[in-house]
Amino acid sequence: MQTKILRQRDIKQILSVVGRDAIMDRLIDDLHNGFAALGRGELAEAPPRSGFARGGEVPGVIEFMPYRVPGVAVTMKTISYSPHNYRRFRLPTVVGTVSRLDDDSGSLIAFADAAVITAMRTGAVSAIASRLLARPDSATLALIGAGAQAVTQAHALSRVLPIERILVSDTDPDHAESFAGRVAFLGLTVDVTGPAAAVAAADVLSTVTSVPAGEGPVLPAGPRLPHLHVNATGADEPGKTELPRPLLDDAFICVDHPGQARAEGEFQQLPDRDLGPSLASLCAAPSSATAHVDSLSVLDSTGSAFADHIAFDVLLGFADELGLGRKAAIGAAPEDVLDPYSLPW
C-alpha cells in the first residue's frame, strides 16, 4: 500500500495557495460540526492521551493521542512538549507527527508533521468556545504568553469576533516585543502590557504559556470585566495550571475533553467540583451557552485527539485538492506473506 507523505514544502504550499484564513475558517467550521456530532452521541470521544514525562535538565512530555473511526481509519498523533527546545536546540516548543492508518488492515495511509495543524486546531477550538461564550461584540483580546500558540489564538479568534486590539504579556520581553510582527497579517493594534492590565481590559483572554508544573497561576485574580471569557490552553500535563483558583471558583467552566480535564487541566484545582459541561454538548445545543455570555466563563482545554483527527482530515483534503503529497511504499509487502524476508525490490 502506498503512503501519502506531506512534506514541509507541501504544508507551506497549502498555506500559500489556500490561505491561512480559508484554512482556519474550514477548521473552525469542521471542528464545530464534529464537536456537535460528538455532543449528540453520533461519534465517540477519544481516549485520554498517554505518554512519558521527562524531568531533570530537559523537562517535558512525549504523548500519544489516538482516535478511531471504526471501519474507516485511525489517526495517531505523537506530540512532544519541550519548553527548553528553543534555547537548547533552536526548535519549536511543540514538535510532533500525525499519521493515518486504515482501520481494517492497519496499513499506513498518510503521514505528516503535526506542528502547524496542532497550533491551528488549538486556536480553532478556542474560537469555537469563544463564539459560544464570549460577548459577540468582544473587541479586546488579551494573550498571556506570546509564543507560537499565541499567533494561532489571535488568528482564530479574529475570525469569529470583531477583535480590534490585542494586549500581550510574556515573561520573555523579546517574545512580547516580537509578537506584533508575527501577527501583522491580522492588521490589528498590538500593545505589550503586564498580566494585570491585560486581565482588567480583556473581553476575551487566552493563556498559552510554558509555565512549569506547580508554578502557576500566570495571571492575577484581580479586576476584570464581568463578561470575560478565558481560553485556558496551557494546562497540558499533571501539575501544570495557569488560572488563579478564585477566578475558577467564580466561573462557568466547560471542557474540551472530559476524560483529561481532572488529570491535566484547570480542574486539577477543583477536586470537589462537578466537572463542567463538555464543549461538545455546547456545540450540540448552542442555546445552552447563551445564559453565560454576560458572565465569567472558561474553556478548560487540554487538547483532543478527536480534534486532531478532524484537523488532519482538513489538511489531507486540501492536499488532495492541490495534488500535493509524495506517495511512497513505506509498509512492508513481502511477495510471500508467510515469509517476512521475501521483500521485493
Q: What is the CATH number of the domain that holds 59?
A: 3.30.1780.10
Whether 108 is covered by a domain: the verdict is: yes
Q: Is the residue at 335 inside a domain? A: no
Read off the pTM.
0.96
Is residue 294 located within the same domain as residue 171? yes
Position 267 in a domain: yes
Question: Could you tell me if 201 and 287 lie in one domain?
Answer: yes
Longest dimension (CA), the chain: 71
Note the pLDDT tens digit of each residue in 169-187: 999 999 999 999 999 999 9
Are 276 and 251 contacting, i.e. CB atoms less than 8 angstroms apart? no
Percentage of the chain lying above the pLDDT 70 cut? 100
- Do residues 292 and 158 share a domain? yes
Same-domain status, 19 and 109: yes
Task: Give the amino acid at 142.
Answer: A
Residues 107 and 37 in one domain: yes
Euclidean distance between CA atoms 94 and 278, whole angstroms: 25
Looking at the structure, tell me whether residues 282 and 145 fall in a common domain: yes
Range of the domain at 85: 3-116+305-328
Confirm whether 146 is domain-assigned: yes
Residues 230 and 295 in one domain: yes
Residue with the three cell numbers 461538545: 280
Q: Tens of pLDDT along 50-101? A: 999 888 888 888 999 999 999 999 999 999 989 888 888 888 889 999 999 9
pLDDT tens figures, 133-147? 999 999 999 999 999
Is there a domain that residue 339 lies in? no
Catalytic residues: 236
337 in a domain, yes or no?
Answer: no
Number of folded domains in the chain? 2
For 20, list phi and psi in degrees, rounded to 5. -60, -40
Same domain, 278 and 319: no
Q: Helices (DSSP H) in 49-114: which residue ranges? A: 85-89
Q: How confident is the model at residue 222 (pLDDT cuts 50, 70, 90)?
A: very high
Cα–Cα distance between 25 and 160 in angstroms, integer?
9
Residue 255 has a pLDDT of 98
Identify the bridge partners of residue 68 per DSSP, sorted by sequence position: 74
Domain of residue 268, CATH code: 3.40.50.720
CA–CA distance, 170 with 144 (Å, rounded to integer): 6
CB 236 within 8 Å of CB 81: yes
List Cβ neighbours of 337 (8 Å cut-off, separation of 6 or more): none
